[in-house]
């Protein structure tokens, strides 16, 4: 394993790859080296080295002014230029040791809670935070919103936590980061407050497995996501159960209206492509893990990605899907320009608004498979975690904040307001969810069948490999045997 990290460090292909590798030199076997007592990280030789490499490997700013990109919550974001990456790599590290234990002002405990932009009705989330503030007058709670880009947010957290930053108490981590961050020693062990047995009893299996590492709880599920098939009820007779039916229904609808796209999905080179790829691999009868080994170079996996490439080649999907993320797909479908769409549950809420052109014309079904059995969705979601380096005096309040935001009542309130499936099992039996958000309540079978991406501390390194090779396949740059051969060799080097 150590050799794999060292090989990666010798030829960093991105700043993100490099920053992950830095941890190996500051920790052994998952145990972090104590922070220097007499001086902070800022000004040290390692800091200077990181700063120079951050500048060297940061991407150049685009020559033309970029067009705004709409995030899932409707806010506008812009591509991150090199200045922001340098800030992430250097500025966060400089403030990593700025808050000393006991430095809270006016006798109050200052808790910092960081998260990405909220989806849907943010007022409900703010109400829960207000409840916490009223219950804890001794606490000054500050919330900070980070960019709505998973890779950038991961870099931000990784860099800050590796520098033992004390300026973050509680934050929302992606479901795929928990094992990586826990192995690195970044996360507080919450087993005494949230025993693993209770987590497994109360939460959906996939969500529970994601937050438990080595028999210990390192996070509490906040919400979950699952991939769904959206279809136009006015254009197709029924939801397709097989891939053949999907292509046939799309072809018929396109014959009647050539302006339509048959099937839109997320094929841009990012994490969403991996979710789409895994769902197709599982739909073709494949498995992506065998024991502790991530397995991609199999006949079923090749069939799954060949199918996705074939959708573009045969015209079922437009070539533009190779640059599409969730919002690009949703806009095409919601504007009435596509027959089918793969997306997350949040899209349903958007299409129920009065101004939506397809309101009342959309159905949702499990993803199709080659056999006609209900497909397996890639499991996504957000988890609440506590920074292991945060001041000990903040722990009790931080734990109460986690409890407030992950309670059964909070699960149901967020699901109703934001259209995100709750991770607690009991929520799906609650009358409030059934009556006020029947669509979310109906997703329980899909949620239960959802599969996690490989649960490993090295997932984000593996993800880099898969993003590149999956993209090479769907864009026709490489054949599946060549791409998966390359991917399997690289993944084995990382994990062995």
How many domains does the chain divide into?
A: 2
Residue 5 lies in a domain: no
* Number of neighbours of residue 466 by Cβ within 10 angstroms: 25
Count how many Cα atoms sit within 13 Å of the Cα of residue 254 in the half-sphere of its side chain: 18
Give the percent of the chain with pLDDT over 90.
Answer: 72
In this structure, the answer to whether residues 414 and 433 fall within a common structural domain is yes
Residue 34 lies in a domain: no
242 vs 495, residue with greater confidence: 242
User: 3-state class of 352 per DSSP?
Assistant: coil
pLDDT tens for each residue of 42-64? 444 444 445 444 444 444 444 44
Task: Say which range, 59-73, 189-203, 343-357, has the weakest mean pLDDT.
Answer: 59-73
Confidence band (pLDDT; 50, 70, 90) for 30? very low
Residue 72 lies in a domain: no
Arithmetic mean of pLDDT over the chain = 84
pLDDT tens for each residue of 184-225? 999 999 999 999 999 999 999 999 999 999 999 999 999 999
In this structure, the answer to whether residues 393 and 283 fall within a common structural domain is no
Is the full-model pTM beyond 0.85? no
Confidence band (pLDDT; 50, 70, 90) for 391? very high
Residue 64 lies in a domain: no
> Among 24-33, 148-157, 439-448, which range has the highest average pLDDT?
439-448
Confidence band (pLDDT; 50, 70, 90) for 106? low
Residue 433 lies in a domain: yes
Domain span holding position 269: 228-376+459-495
Average pLDDT over residues 124-129: 94
Q: Looking at residue 272, which CATH number applies to its domain?
A: 3.40.190.10
Start-to-end CA distance of the chain, whole Å, equals 5
Q: How far is CA 218 from CA 9, 93, 179, 189, 433, in A?
A: 28, 23, 9, 5, 28
User: Quick check: 57 and 18 in contact, CB under 8 A?
Assistant: yes
pLDDT tens for each residue of 270-314? 999 999 999 999 999 999 988 889 999 999 999 999 999 999 999
Please state, in angstroms and rounded to a whole number, the distance separating the CA atoms of residues 464 and 294.
14
482 vs 105, residue with greater confidence: 482
In this structure, the answer to whether residues 146 and 291 fall within a common structural domain is no
């Amino acid at each position: 394993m150590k050799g794999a990290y060292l090989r990666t460090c010798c030829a960093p292909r991105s700043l993100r790859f490099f920053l992950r590798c830095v941890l190996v030199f500051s920790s052994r076997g998952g145990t972090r080296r104590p922070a220097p007592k007499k001086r902070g990280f800022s000004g040290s030789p390692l800091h200077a080295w990181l700063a120079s490499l951050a500048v060297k490997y940061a991407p150049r700013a685009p020559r033309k002014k970029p067009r705004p990109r709409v995030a899932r919550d409707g806010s506008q974001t812009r591509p991150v230029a090199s200045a922001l990456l340098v800030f992430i790599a250097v500025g966060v590290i400089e403030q990593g040791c700025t808050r000393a234990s006991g430095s809270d002002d006016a006798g109050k405990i200052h808790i910092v809670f960081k998260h990405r932009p909220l989806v849907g009705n943010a007022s409900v989330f703010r109400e829960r935070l207000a409840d916490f503030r009223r219950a804890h007058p001794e606490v000054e709670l500050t919330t900070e919103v980070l960019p709505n880009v998973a890779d950038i947010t991961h870099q931000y957290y990784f860099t800050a936590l590796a520098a033992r930053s004390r300026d973050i108490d509680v934050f929302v981590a992606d479901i795929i980061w928990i094992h990586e961050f826990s192995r690195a020693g970044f996360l507080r062990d919450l087993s005494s407050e949230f025993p693993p047995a209770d987590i497994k009893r109360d939460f959906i299996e996939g969500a529970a497995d994601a937050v438990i590492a080595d028999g210990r709880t390192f996070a509490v599920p906040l919400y979950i996501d699952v991939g769904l098939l959206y279809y136009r009820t006015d254009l197709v007779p029924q939801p397709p159960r097989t891939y053949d039916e999907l292509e046939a229904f799309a072809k018929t609808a396109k014959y009647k209206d050539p302006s339509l796209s048959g099937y839109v999905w997320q094929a841009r080179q990012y994490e969403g492509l991996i979710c789409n790829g895994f769902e197709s691999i599982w739909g073709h009868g494949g498995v992506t893990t065998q024991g502790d080994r991530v397995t991609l170079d199999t006949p079923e996996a090749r069939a799954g990605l060949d199918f996705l490439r074939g959708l573009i080649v045969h015209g079922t999907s437009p070539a533009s899907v190779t640059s599409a993320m969730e919002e690009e797909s949703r806009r095409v479908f919601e504007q009435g320009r596509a027959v089918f769409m793969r997306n997350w549950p949040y899209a349903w809420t958007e299409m129920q608004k009065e101004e939506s052109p397809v309101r009342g014309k959309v159905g949702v079904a499990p993803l199709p498979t080659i056999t006609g059995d209900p497909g397996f969705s890639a499991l996504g979601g957000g988890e609440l975690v506590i920074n292991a380096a945060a001041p000990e005096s903040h722990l009790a309040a931080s734990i109460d904040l986690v409890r407030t935001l992950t309670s059964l009542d909070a699960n149901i309130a967020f699901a109703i307001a934001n259209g995100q499936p709750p991770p607690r099992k009991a929520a799906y039996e609650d009358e409030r969810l059934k009556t006020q958000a029947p669509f979310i309540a109906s997703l329980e079978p899909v949620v239960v069948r959802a599969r996690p991406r490989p649960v490993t501390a090295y997932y984000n390194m593996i993800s880099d490999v898969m993003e590149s090779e999956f993209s090479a396949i769907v864009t026709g740059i490489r054949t599946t045997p060549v791409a998966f051969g390359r991917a399997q060799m690289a993944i084995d080097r990382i994990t062995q």
